[in-house]
Amino acid sequence: MTWIYLSAGLGVAGLVVLGVAGARVVAAARILNREIATAKAQLEPGRARLTNRGDETTPRAAYDRG
């Protein structure tokens, strides 16, 4: 009978360890998502500026040169 209690206790302890590890992964994923959003916000003005410049291989039409 002791073996049953011991195996049940070890099973619960294993689930607790997995729960803690899962919570840490979720927290790290949220932090990473925040960092990616910050980096994207910092890079967005430069991307928009470069996108508006046009393609260097495609010459602009005479009426577009202002």
Per-residue pLDDT of 2-60, as tens digits, reads: 999 999 999 999 999 999 999 999 999 999 999 999 999 999 988 877 777 655 666 66
Better-scored residue on pLDDT, 37 or 1: 37
Whole-number pLDDT of residue 41: 93
pLDDT of residue 21: 98
What is the value of pTM for the model shown?
0.61
**Looking at the predicted structure, is the pLDDT value of residue 66 above 80?**
no
Give the single-character DSSP code of 64.
Answer: G
Q: How far is Cα 14 from Cα 41, in angstroms, rounded to an integer? A: 41
N-to-C CA span, the chain: 89
